[in-house]
Amino acid sequence: MRAMTSPIMGNGSTFAPQCVIFYPAMGPQRKPRRAPEHFYQTLKLMKRQPHASGRWVCFATAQTEPNASAADSSAAALPRLADLEPLPVVNVQGYINPEMPEGTQATVFAVYDQAKTLQYIGFSKNLRASLLTVFSRRPDKSHLYRALHLPQLDQNEMLSVRSSWFDQSGGPPPGNRLPAERAAWQEAATPFTISDRGKVAAAEELAKSMIVKIKSRGCKEEFLVNQDLIQEGKVDFLAVADLDPKELERQRREAEAAARMTRNCSVIVEGETLLFDIFFKSAMKTNGGYMFDLRLTAFDRETTHRVIVGKDYYERQGIDAEEVVERVFSYLLAKEVPRQTDGMLLSSEFPINYFSVSEVHQFFDDFEEFFPG
């Protein structure tokens, strides 16, 4: 078992990435306006790989006969960070298992917090291992990532990509700019102690709190505390083994099952379409209907809820109970009802953590108009 450390990138062969483009799976390849001729020549050399999002991820291949004009234009043709698809660090099944296009040798990746604010840009020879590392160290700031996959390991090109992303983002993010933040992303955590005598106990307590934060994100990955570092008063985690074929197949089956249990929904709020997802973690049939435990994802934030649906709400409408849940959350999101409540509730606060549809009906006067019948 090896310690999870950030991979150190070495020099590779000359590589000039031209661009990264996302195409709809069945859509036409449209040329951008006023693109230079070398763009179209490079487009023909691109490999297209399927991605979990249903889109195609394209990445440039090394040119067999590089020329001066292509080299001069490579800086201008570096992919824009905003053009890359934002993906969750922890997937809906609770694992960190990024899709990797075939032939990937290196990756430049950017990590975002829950508010979609850029926090850190790093390099990797193994994106899964790197995401496990940064997530275990900063679970509160590792919610989404964007990644550029390269078919050659070339440190100069990776530095160029990172520098370009810095410029596009108005400068380096906190994890690259501030010394304390950079250490938090790149090094083992060190708790504050007033004496060496208490450093081991302090490290053990910090490790426990970090595990709690990791689990609170719904992550099912196994994180083992590096006991050698604990003795030094530091906290880091050992890398879990790469997924073997059987485990990969199991996760694929889970992903397919999760897809069947996930509803992609939308609602119009003030003239704009809001997209949200509902993942049904469990469904229990009761005498009067169903009880669901679910996870709601909207505005790049996840919350968990328990919802009881009486049979009257779906039988008389001729729909399934899951659709009732979808309609109810469309209504609650449109009304901007707070999605999480703590402690004692006021009479004016709706108990959104655990509620029945009949409570929604009684609490809101206009629910009847939104859900007639």
Q: Domain locations in the chain?
A: 1-260, 262-370
Q: In this predicted structure, what is the pLDDT of residue 243?
A: 54
Mean pLDDT over the full length of the chain: 78
CA end-to-end distance (rounded Å), the chain? 60
Q: What is the DSSP string of 122-148?
A: EEESSHHHHHHHHHHH-TTT-SEEEEE
d(C-alpha 18, C-alpha 39), whole Å = 7
Q: Angle between the 179-186 and 127-137 helix axes, to the nearest 10 degrees?
A: 120
User: Which stretches does DSSP call E strand in 254-300?
Assistant: 262-269, 272-286, 289-298
d(C-alpha 49, C-alpha 58), whole Å = 6
Residue in 298, 307, 364 with CA at minimum distance from that of residue 331: 364
Q: In this predicted structure, what is the pLDDT of residue 174?
A: 97
Q: In this predicted structure, what is the pLDDT of residue 231?
A: 84
- Give the helix/strand (H/E) hosting 106: strand 106-112
pLDDT tens per residue across span 148-206: 999 999 999 999 999 999 999 999 999 999 999 999 999 999 988 766 667 887 888 89
Is 90 exceeded by the pLDDT of residue 210?
yes
pLDDT band per the 50, 70, 90 thresholds, residue 70: very low
Residue type at 174?
Answer: P
pTM of the model: 0.54
Let me know the angle formed at the C-alpha of 259 by 262 and 334, rounded to the nearest 5 degrees. Answer: 25
Q: How far is CA 38 from CA 17, 58, 130, in A?
A: 12, 16, 33
pLDDT tens per residue across span 240-283: 555 566 765 765 676 677 778 888 898 888 888 888 889 898 99
pLDDT tens per residue across span 219-241: 988 888 888 888 899 999 875 55
Q: Please, where are the H alpha helices in 217-355? A: 227-230, 245-260, 311-315, 321-334
* Cβ contact 163:155 at 8 Å: no
Is 90 exceeded by the pLDDT of residue 63?
no
Q: How far is CA 248 from CA 106, 215, 271, in A?
A: 21, 21, 42
* Percentage, residues of the chain above pLDDT 70: 72
Q: Tell me the CB-side half-sphere exposure of residue 113, using CA atoms within 13 A.
A: 11
